[in-house]
């Protein structure tokens, strides 16, 4: 009976909803939020129950949140289902949409996100917050308490996160040009003007506009991107309020963060997102343009919402093209508008990689991918992180190591004494460092995979090019021999027609073109090194295949993940012990053992990272550097030979044209000699005339053969010209 009464006491209800007081989702100064159930359908909802303190507020303020939520209807704002009252106490209850995956704050407090959200998740947060805020502005509402804790999360049917703005207790209607005097908000996210009055209690008569929400959004976005607050005085914002105020009010115009690392030390101003941030350089650049313009204390200089929406939507409307730069061994995510030209994409690649527009050459899935500059970006092949474009440079660029922050220094040490609260905090930081170490390890391993993949593609394409050169050499040699043979026959015919008389000199064009044949011979001799280059490529191909097999057999990531799983279990125990008032003797001994085990596992992760990942990565970069140097020599020779072929093709064409002219002239002479009224030798006898007639018939047959050979040669030259064209 007593248990039933206790259970009944723990239950509360309204006419349509029921909840237990233990199912607390959140608590504030004027209300508590519980997970509740619909009495008829069993549907889970969130109920916000107002306490007695809330009724001390003016009635207008009490009703404001109800009115705000009734007015709003958007996928990125928590829905209001009903307003009811509890049975006996008649407390007001807001029945709202239940977001089962916590808040953005709970996501950021997960050790996995201690260095910020992944790029994909951050973009979802950006899209949801911008869309939700746009709906608020369309309805003339200022929120006044935007922070990660007031951005709820649920998982949609497609498995993607959906974020929703909530807690409109501080919200009110306010147009863009209106001001308000009352103060609300959470101090780490407060606009400097409000912070001065609300936290430092300094009297002032300033009025605040809608841009106070933009400051809070800026702090929230920085927190989501980096995992930490942008403005941190020594000891933390709550312990050092005066320095916190100094940081946020004295921030230089382009700075996006400020940190005081030592007591009474200088403030370090930060203008770029940290290297440990998980966002790509391509996204960072756009975000670093937005943050300083909304983290602006001067409300006159701060962007308005129209500009904010324009710039954030400009990011969200872009498509991502994944590019791995083979010369620099770095992955890039290039954000570009779908309707812009490929030229814009290539210029963006140039900014990120340093590879000039005209020197960029792309491969995709093993094949050369020609970029059409006038084409729109939306028409080029879609890429992913697993299947990016591989970028090559036509110049020999030096290799730049992938930039990352060594996570070794981020591993904290436990204090020797038992302090479950402090130990839990340190354990969380250790776990965060392991997650970051694992991420860096995966990135370095992926980098090696793309180095080998891109190198293999380059080898195969260069081998094909070498094979084509040898085919060109063979074709040109045959063509040259055939053309020389044809020219000799023409010379004999020419001498026969002219009876070797000195008054009929040799064709001057033909004599000049014979001298050009020497350059063609030089081209053919330059091809002799191609076989040597092919052998070098075969050796490199075998080496790359061997390295690819070694990468597949690498177990470093698996071993680090195994350690992480064991550390996560220990951390879960630490969180449970943190809730206890004190530990018994046996539990304290277990706690000490867990601290030792956690430390040993962290050391093991670091050892695997340094010896099994970093060392292999450095060795892979050295090999890659040598290969790229070898490739530069091979490609230089291949380009040189192809250049020779281009010139030789023109020489051969000129030579062929001269031969054609000689044939035309001979044909005319033979026709003239065969005419009935033509008598080259009027004094000759009948026998001589018969011999001349037979000779003319023979000349005609020979000319037919020569003409056929020339036609065949012309056809081969045309094909050779096509295969010598650049860009194929």
pLDDT of residue 437: 95
pLDDT of residue 207: 58
HSE on the CB side for 209, CA within 13 Å?
Answer: 14
* 438 alpha carbon, distance to own chain's centre: 19
Half-sphere exposure of 99 (CA within 13 A, CB side): 27
Render pLDDT for 54-112 as a digit per residue (tens, 0 to 9).
666 666 666 777 778 888 899 999 999 998 888 777 778 889 999 999 999 999 999 99
Q: Is the model more confident about 507 or about 621?
A: 621
pLDDT of residue 205: 60
The answer to whether the CB of 240 falls within 8 A of the CB of 234 is yes
Q: What is the share, in percent, of the chain residues with pLDDT greater than 90? A: 49
Categorize the per-residue pLDDT at 717 as very low, low, confident or very high, splitting at 50, 70 and 90. low
User: Quick one: how far is CA 642 from the chain centroid?
Assistant: 35
pLDDT digits (tens, 9 = 90+) for 308-322: 999 999 999 999 999
**Counting every residue, how long is the chain?**
728
pLDDT of 2 over the 50 cut: no
pLDDT band, residue 161 (cuts 50/70/90): very high
Question: CA–CA separation, 105 vs 694, rounded Å?
Answer: 105
Q: Residue 694: which pLDDT band, with cuts at 50, 70 and 90?
A: low
User: Given a cut of 80, is residue 493 above it in pLDDT?
Assistant: no
In this predicted structure, which of 6-20, 71-85, 122-136 has the lowest mean pLDDT? 6-20
pLDDT of residue 180: 36
Which residues, 6 or more positions from 319, have their beta carbon under 8 angstroms from its beta carbon? 335, 336, 337, 338, 377, 378
Is residue 17's pLDDT more than 90? Answer: yes
90 is in an annotated binding site: no
- Identity of the highest mean pLDDT range in 171-180, 218-227, 488-497: 218-227
Provide the pLDDT for residue 478: 75
Sequential DSSP letters for 439-496:
HHHHHHHHHHHHHHHHHHHHHHHHHHHHHHHHHHHHHHHHHHHHHHHHHHHHHHHHHH
Written as one string, the DSSP assignment of 164-181 is EE---SS-EE--TT--B-
CB 152 within 8 A of CB 103: yes
Judge whether 277 and 228 are in contact, CB under 8 Å: no
Report the relative pairing of strands 360-364 and 389-393 from DSSP bridges: antiparallel
**Is the model more confident about 232 or about 580?**
232
CA distance linking residue 345 with residue 389, whole number of Å: 12
Residue 518's pLDDT is: 65
pLDDT, tens digit, for every residue of 401-428? 666 778 888 888 887 888 899 999 999 9
What lies within 8 Å, CB to CB, of 429 at 6+ separation is 111, 114, 410, 412
> Sign of the CA dihedral 427, 431, 433, 437?
positive
**Res. 727: pLDDT tops 50:** no
Catalytic residue of the set 23, 145, 213, 406: 145
Rounded mean pLDDT of 219-235?
96
Q: Is 193 a catalytic residue?
A: no
What average pLDDT does this structure show over 341-362? 93
User: Which pLDDT score is estimated for 711?
Assistant: 62
Give the chain's mean pLDDT. 83
Cα distance between residue 155 and residue 150, in whole Å: 17
**Residue 585, SS3 per DSSP:** helix
Asked if residue 177 has pLDDT above 60, the reply is: no
Helix (H) or strand (E) holding 94: strand 92-97
On whether the pTM is more than 0.75, the answer is yes
């Amino acid at each position: 009976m007593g248990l039933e009464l206790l259970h009944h006491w723990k239950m509360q209800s309204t006419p349509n909803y029921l909840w237990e007081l233990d199912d607390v989702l959140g608590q504030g100064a004027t209300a508590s939020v519980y997970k509740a159930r619909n009495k008829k359908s069993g549907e889970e909802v969130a109920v916000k129950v107002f306490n007695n303190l809330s009724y001390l507020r003016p009635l207008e303020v009490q009703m404001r949140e109800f009115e705000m939520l009734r007015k709003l209807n958007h996928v990125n704002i928590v829905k209001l289902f009903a307003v009811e009252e509890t049975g006996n106490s008649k407390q007001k209850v807001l029945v709202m949409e239940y977001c089962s995956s916590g808040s953005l704050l709970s996501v950021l407090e997960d050790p996995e996100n201690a260095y910020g959200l992944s790029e994909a998740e951050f973009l979802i947060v950006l899209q949801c917050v911008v869309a939700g805020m746009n709906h608020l502005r369309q309805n003339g509402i200022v929120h006044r308490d935007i922070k990660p804790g007031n951005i709820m999360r649920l998982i949609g049917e497609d498995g993607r996160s959906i974020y929703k703005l909530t807690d409109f207790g501080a919200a009110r209607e306010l147009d863009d040009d209106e001001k308000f005097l009352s103060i609300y908000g959470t101090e780490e996210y407060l606009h400097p003007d409000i912070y001065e009055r609300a936290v430092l209690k300094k009297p002032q008569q300033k009025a605040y506009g809608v841009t106070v929400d933009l400051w809070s959004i800026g702090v929230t976005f920085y927190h989501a991107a980096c995992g930490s607050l942008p403005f941190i005085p020594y000891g933390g914002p709550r312990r050092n309020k005066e320095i916190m105020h100094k940081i946020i009010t004295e921030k230089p115009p382009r700075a996006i963060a400020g940190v005081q690392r030592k007591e009474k030390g200088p403030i370090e101003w930060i203008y770029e997102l940290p290297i440990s941030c998980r966002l790509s350089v391509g996204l960072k650049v756009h975000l670093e343009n937005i943050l300083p313009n909304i983290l602006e204390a001067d409300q006159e200089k701060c962007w308005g919402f129209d500009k904010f929406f324009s710039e954030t939507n400009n990011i969200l409307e872009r498509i991502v093209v994944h590019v791995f730069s083979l010369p620099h061994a770095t992955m890039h995510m290039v954000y570009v508008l779908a309707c812009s030209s490929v030229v814009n994409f290539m210029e963006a690649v140039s900014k990120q990689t340093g590879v000039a527009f005209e020197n960029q050459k792309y491969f995709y899935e093993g094949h050369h991918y020609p970029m059409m500059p006038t084409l729109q970006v939306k028409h080029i092949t879609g890429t992913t992180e697993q299947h990016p474009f591989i970028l090559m440079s036509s110049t020999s660029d030096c290799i730049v190591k992938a930039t990352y922050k060594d996570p070794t220094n981020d591993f904290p040490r436990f204090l020797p004494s038992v302090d479950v609260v402090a130990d839990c905090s340190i354990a969380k930081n250790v776990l965060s460092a392991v997650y970051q170490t694992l991420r860096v390890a995966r990135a370095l391993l992926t980098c090696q995979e793309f180095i080998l993949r891109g190198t293999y593609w380059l080898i195969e394409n260069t081998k094909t090019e070498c094979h084509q050169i040898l085919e060109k050499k063979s074709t040109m040699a045959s063509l040259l021999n055939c053309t020389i043979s044809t020219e000799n026959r023409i010379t004999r015919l020419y001498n026969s027609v002219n009876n070797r008389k000195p008054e009929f000199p040799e064709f001057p064009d033909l004599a000049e073109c014979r001298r050009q044949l020497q350059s063609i011979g030089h081209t053919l001799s330059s091809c002799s090194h191609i076989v040597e280059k092919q052998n070098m490529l075969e050796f490199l191909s075998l080496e790359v295949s061997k390295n690819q097999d070694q990468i597949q057999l690498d177990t470093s990531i698996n071993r680090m993940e195994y350690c992480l799983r064991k550390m996560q279990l220990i951390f879960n125990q630490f969180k449970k012990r943190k809730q206890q008032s004190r530990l018994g003797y046996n539990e304290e001994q277990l706690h000490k053992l867990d601290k030792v085990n956690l430390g040993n596992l962290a050391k093991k992760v670091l050892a695997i990272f340094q010896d099994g990942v970093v060392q292999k990565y450095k060795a892979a970069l050295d090999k890659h550097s040598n290969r790229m140097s070898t490739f530069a020599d091979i490609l230089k020779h291949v380009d040189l030979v192809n250049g020779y072929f281009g010139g030789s093709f023109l020489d051969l064409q000129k030579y062929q044209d001269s031969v054609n002219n000689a044939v035309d002239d001979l044909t005319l002479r033979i026709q003239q000699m065969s005419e009935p009224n033509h008598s080259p030798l009027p004094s000759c006898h009948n026998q001589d005339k018969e011999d001349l007639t037979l000779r003319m018939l023979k000349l005609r047959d020979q000319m037919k053969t020569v003409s056929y050979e020339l036609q065949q040669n012309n056809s081969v030259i045309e094909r050779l010209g096509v295969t010598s064209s650049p860009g194929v």
